[in-house]
Chain A
Amino acid sequence: MIDVNKLCKDYIIKRKGAGLSGALKGLVSRNTDTIHAVKDLSFHIDEGEIVGFIGPNGAGKSTTIKMMSGILTPTSGSVLIDGEDITKHRKEVVRNIGVVFGQRTQLNWDLRLGETFELLKHIYRIPQNDFDNTLNVMDDILGIKELIDKPVRQMSLGQRVKGDLVASMLHSPKVLFLDEPTIGLDVSAKYSLRKFIKEINEVRKTTIVLTTHDLGDIRELCERLIIINHGTMIEDGNLKEITDRIAPYKTLVAEFYDEKAPTHDRCELISREGNVARYRFNKSDITAADIISDLSSIKPLKDVSIEEAGIDDIIKIAYGR
C-alpha cells in the first residue's frame, strides 16, 4: 500500500549570531547550514497494517509523515501510495488518504461541525448515501452526531479531535495518517480514539500510520513499530521482535528477610532497596527458575516476581543509540 524509497529531506537554515551584534551581522551575511532531517529512509507498508512511528523529538517522524501525506516535497527519493507517486500526482493520490494532525485542526473554527463535513462532501464528491452511511458508522463508534451541531470553537480538545478524525474518514480513504493524535487528551478520550482506530482498521481495512509519544498508543495499537532517530531507521518490526533484539533481558525482583541480598555470577544485581533486590538476566543465558533456586539455596526468599522489558526501556535503549 505504501512504498517509501530512499527518502531524504534537507532543510537549509540560516546561521544567526547571538545578541544585537549577531542580529546586525545577520542582515548582511549569508551563512547557512544544511540539516539532514531524514536520511535515506526506505520501507514498505501493507494494506491493513497499523504502523507506529516512534522516535525522540526532532528525530524526523513528523517530516517523514508529512512527506508521506504530500505536504512536504522530498529532497530526493519517493513515496508511492497504492503504486502512485504522491509528489507527481498529488491531487489523485490524496483522494486515498486521510490526515489528522493532533495539534492542528482542519475544521472551520467559527461554524458548526456539520458545515465542515458538508464542505468535505463537496470537495471529495461523496455521494449522499455513502456520506450518510459513513456518518452512521462513525456515530456508532464515536457518537459524533451529538456534536454535529456544535460550533467547533466551543468544543473541548477531545471533541475536536473526534471531529477531525471523522472529517478525515468521510471520503473512506485507504490510508490514514495520524500525527500525535492523542496528544493532550484525557484518559477517556484516548480510550475512545484508540477504539476508533482499531475498529476502522478492522472493519474498513484502512491502513494506519501514526506517530506518537504515548506508550499506551504503542502498546494497544501498533502491530508494527518503526523507530527512527536522527533521520534514519533504527528498528522495524513488531514489539516482541524489537524487544528480543534490543532488550533481550528480564528483571527478577526478589525480596529477602534482610538487607543483605546475595550476588549471582550469571546475572547482574542492578539495585538493592531495603529487603528488595533486582537482578537483570539475559533470557538466552539463564532461566528465572534457575536463578530462584540458586538464590534460595544461599538465603531464604520471601517473594519473587519477574518483569519483562517495557516499551519505555526499549525506547530508552533505542533512542540512546
Chain B
Amino acid sequence: MRKAFDTLGHYLDVTGQEIKMAFMTMIEYPSNIAGWFISNPLQFIMGFAIIKFVVESFGEINGWNYGQLAFLYGLSVISHALSMIFFVQGWFMGWYVIEGDFDRYLTRPLGVMYQFFFTNINIFGLTDLVPGIMVFIYGCMKSGIQVSVMFVFQVIIMLIGATLIRGGIYILLGSTSFHTRSAVDFGQYTQEIMDKTTMYPLSMYPESLQFILTYLIPIGWVSYYPVSSLLGIENGLSGGMTTALITLAVGLLLMCLAGAYFRSGLKKYESAGN
C-alpha cells in the first residue's frame, strides 16, 4: 500500500514537470497559440450553429429539442476536449512507431503508455474545452437543469468515464500500427464518426447500430446514455448515480482492454533503422 502511494506520488511529480515543460514549449511558439485559439473554437461554434439550423429545418430530432441537443453537444465536446488533452497522441501513434520514438520510453523506468501520452500532453486541447463548457452551460439553462452538488458530481464521473472511452478507442486504433507497421492516421475519420454518434441522440439510428454502439464499441456511453439519464429521457436507464458509475466502469474496462492490446503490440515493436 505504502509502495503504491509512493509510486503514485512519483508519477504525479513527473506529470507536474511534463505539464510545466508543455507550457514552456507552447510559449516558445506564440504563432501556434493564435492558430489553435482560432481553429478549435471555430470548429465547435460552427458545429453548434449547424445543429441549430438542422433543428430549424426539421423541428425536433427524434423527440430531442434544441436545449437538450445543446446539452448533449456540450457534454460531448467537453469529453472530446479532455481526450484531446490526454490521448490525442493515439491518433498519431503510427508515426511514433515508424520513427522509433518508443526507444526513449522503453529505456526509462516508467510505464511506456504513461510516458507516451504525458510527455506529449497537448495543452492546446484547452482551446476545445472552453467552447465545450460554454455550450454545456447554455444547454443546462435551456433545458431547465437544477444544478446541485449531486448533479456536478455525476457530471464529473461521467466525463471521466467518457474521456476514458474516447482515449481507449484512440489507443486501440493507434496500437494497430505495431502490428501493421504503417503510419495510418484515422484521426479525422474517428472524429467524424464520434461527432455523428455523440452529438446527436443514438435513438435515431436503427436498433442494430444502437446495439453495436452500446455493447461492442461503447460510444453510446460517451454522451447519449449519460445525458439521457441526466435529463430524464426515457430509455430504460435509471437516473441518479447508476448511469454515471456504469459510464465510468465502461471507460475503465475499455482502457484495460486498450492497455493490454498496446502491450501486446509493444512486444512486436521493431524500432527504426536497420
Interface residues of A (CB under 8 A from B): 11, 37, 58, 62-63, 66, 69-73, 90-92, 94-95, 97, 99, 101, 103-104, 106, 108, 110-111, 115, 118-119, 122-125, 151
Assembled-state Cα–Cα distance A194/B112 (Å): 32
Q: Mark B48-70, 1 if CB is under 8 A from A, else 0.
A: 00000000000000000000000
Check B269–A92 contact: CB distance below 8 A.
Answer: no
Given contacts A58-B274, A95-B109, A123-B108, contact A71 B103 (CB under 8 A): yes
Given the known A-B contacts A118-B17, A123-B14, are A11 and B270 also in contact in the complex, defined by CB atoms under 8 Å? yes
Contact B106 A104 (CB under 8 A): no
CB distance from B8 to the nearest CB of A (A): 13
> Residues of B with Cβ closer than 8 Å to A?
10, 13-14, 16-18, 21, 24-25, 28-29, 100, 102-104, 106-111, 266-271, 273-274
Q: Which of A62, A73, A94, A111 contacts B267 (CB 8 A)?
A: A73
For A98, give the chain B residue with the smallest CB separation: B107
**Interchain CB contact under 8 A, A94 and B28:** no
**Cβ-defined contact, B107 with A125, below 8 A:** no
For A118, the chain B residues whose CB sits under 8 A away are 17
Tell me the nearest residue of chain B to A95, going by C-beta. Answer: B109
8 A–B contact pairs at CB < 8 A? A70-B106, A70-B107, A71-B103, A72-B269, A91-B109, A103-B273, A110-B29, A111-B24
Inter-subunit contact B109/A124 (CB<8 Å): yes
How far does the Cβ of A212 sit from chain B's closest Cβ, in whole Å? 15
Say how far A216's CB is from chain B's closest CB, in angstroms.
23
Q: Name the residue on B nearest A90 (C-beta).
A: B106
Using A95-B109, A123-B108 as known contacts, say yes or no to A104 and B103 having CB atoms under 8 A apart.
yes
* B108 and A94 contact, CB distance less than 8 A: yes
B21 touches A108 (CB 8 A): yes
B179 to chain A, nearest CB (A): 11
- Give complex CA distance A73, B274 in Å: 16
Q: How long is the Cα–Cα vector from A90 to B107 in the complex, in angstroms? A: 8
Q: Known A37-B274, A106-B104, A111-B25; judge A73-B269 contact (CB<8 A).
A: yes
Residues of B within 8 Å of A73, CB to CB, are 266-269
A94 to B14, CA, bound (A): 17
Q: Could you tell me if B274 and A101 are in contact, using CB atoms closer than 8 angstroms?
A: no
Tell whether, in the assembled complex, residue B28 and residue A66 are in contact, meaning their CB atoms are under 8 Å apart. Answer: no
State whether B21 touches A69 (Cβ < 8 A): no
A125 and B274 in contact, given A69-B107, A104-B100 (Cβ under 8 angstroms) = no
Whether A122 touches B14, Cβ cut-off 8 Å, given contacts A72-B270, A111-B21, A111-B25, is yes
- The one of A90, A97, A111 in contact with B28, judged by C-beta atoms closer than 8 angstroms, is A111
Smallest CB–CB gap between B121 and chain A, Å?
12
Known: A92-B109, A94-B109, A95-B109. A125 touches B273 (CB 8 A): no
Q: How far is the CB of A120 from chain B (nearest CB, A)?
A: 8
Task: Give Cα A70–Cα B107 distance, bound, in whole angstroms.
Answer: 6
Q: Is the CB of A123 within 8 A of B267?
A: no
Distance between Cα atoms of A1 and B210 in the complex (Å): 58
